[in-house]
Structure 1
Amino acid sequence: MNDAVHSIAAKSAAPLPKSAGVTGRTNDPARTMAEILKVATHEFADKGLAGARIDEIAAATRTSKRMIYYYFGSKEGLYIAVLEESYRRVRSIESELNLENLPPEEALRTLVGFTFDHHNGNQDYVRLVMSENMLRGQYIAQSKSIQALNVPAIRSIRDLYDRGVVEGVFRPGVDPIDIHANISALTFFNVSNQYTFSQIFKHQMQDPQVLAQRRANVIDVLVRYLRA
């Protein structure tokens, strides 16, 4: 991550300079930055990095381009901050599932169900990840926090899987990263491919009954994949 983005935390505690050119707002940097990130998340998810416009983000948040650049350094800096916040949010919620206190199979079912629900309920997150893959991960590579944010996800899977192997519930010899990849793939598809799949097969993937059945099927596939 560039130096401008790396200094966001320090800037959030600093008084907003008069040169930011914003009127009618209280000087609440943390709140302002949160609003900018929320609007920017949808803008980048909807239009990608190239198509997103800082002018539109500024207008929607009643701020200015100058303020956005003050906090995030550049359009690319804001995009990286959006990616970081999106990953931080999902991992933060995931950490509250208390998987370590559940029996292994129940923990797996809980994790898969949560991931399915998160992706379906936060479709901008999926589109951001799709967009970053189109860019071949070049901005995630610049982040100093995203890799660390995702370490607990693999640790949690490794813990529940190892407990399952010890208890004879899961078969041995499966890489936790592969488990994570399979969970991601099966829970991602329902959002990433919903329009093409629905048009080709006339199968409305966002219908509540279809979603519920798909959710149950994905959980079942992953449990059967690991079951001893």
Structure 2
Amino acid sequence: MKANAAASDGKEAREPRQAKRDPEGVRRDILSVAMEEFSQNGLSGARIDEIAARTRTSKRMIYYYFGDKEGLYQHVLDEAYGKVRGGESGLELDGLEPVAALDKLCRFTFEHHRRNPDFIRMVMIENIHHGRHMQLSETIRGLNRPAIEALEGVLRRGKESGVFRDGVDPLELHWQISALSFFNVSNAATFAFIFGDGLFTPQGQETLSRHAADMVLRYVLKAEHIGAIEKDGR
């Protein structure tokens, strides 16, 4: 009996009972790992078993939180868009003069996409599915509306101060900023294979980021104010 008790005590010492995990922490872990799994393997190729193993939870727990595999995928989409929009809201653009605000937004978008390739892959995968899951989301449209409203505010202040020209559509401008930042990640592998990886070094990425912001600014600035960018050595 003593030997058995000692063996039992030794086993318990080697394998301490796992502390009860915070439900919200478990949910965040699942979403983080699911983002990697879906972005790497797509909706059809992603495996719930793999997500469960990596998060030290169970398929049953994942389904408890998110319903099913497609429900988890949809929540990952919501989380991905929420992160980029949350970062934009933290830029406090209203406190900057219009040129600085637009430059900061462009540089943020480029840097966010560069540092979050999983987000880009998720958007690409959802486009393969023709936006079907995004259309079912109750939050994504609302998450993205403030991005256009922020640009509207920057453009309005720029026109009122006589720096920005008339006729710039905020939705179109958002498209342009997104396109410049998106291609840098979505086509990095093929572009580097064909032309070399010079643009994807730290220095190359900094140059691209600066020039992408310059292109946007030159598009919205009145002609007489474009020279100010050149004087800054941009």
TM-score (norm 1): 0.88
Aligned residue in 2 for 1:32: 26
Is 1:219 the equivalent of 2:213?
A: yes
Matched residue SS, 2:199: coil
The answer to whether 1:206 aligns with 2:197 is no
Give the residue type in structure 1 aligned to 2:179.
A
Moved over 4 A (4+): none
Larger C-alpha radius of gyration, 1 or 2?
2
Partner of 2:12 in structure 1?
A: none
Report the AA paired with residue 136 of structure 2: Q
CA distance in 1, matches of 2:147, 2:117: 20
Task: Establish whether residue 104 from structure 1 lines up as the match of residue 98 from structure 2.
Answer: yes
- TM-score, normalised on structure 2? 0.86
Q: Is residue 62 of structure 1 aligned with residue 75 of structure 2?
A: no
Gapped runs of 5+ residues in structure 1? 1-22
Q: What is the Cα-based RMSD across aligned positions, in Å?
A: 1.1
8 Å CA contact retained: 1:39, 1:61: yes
Q: Deviations over 1:165-189 (max 9, x none)?
A: 1111111111110010000000111
2:110 to 84, 108, 116: 116
- Which amino acid in the other structure matches residue 201 of structure 1? F
- The alpha-carbon deviation at position 24 of structure 1 amounts to 3.5
- Percent of aligned positions with the same letter in both sequences? 50
Paired residue type of 2:173: I
Separation (CA, whole Å) in 1 of partners of 2:85 and 2:178: 13
Number of aligned residue pairs: 206
What runs of 5+ residues in structure 2 fail to find an aligned partner?
Answer: 1-16, 223-234
Matched, 1:163 2:157: yes
SS in 2 for 1:97: coil
1:94-129 residue CA offsets vs partner (Å, 9 max, x unmatched): 111110110001000000000001000111011101
Kindly provide the CA deviation profile for residues 119-142 of structure 1, in whole angstroms up to 9, marking residues without a partner as x.
001110111011111111000000
In the alignment, what sits opposite 1:175? 169
- The residue that corresponds to 1:14 in the other structure is none
AA aligned opposite 2:46: A
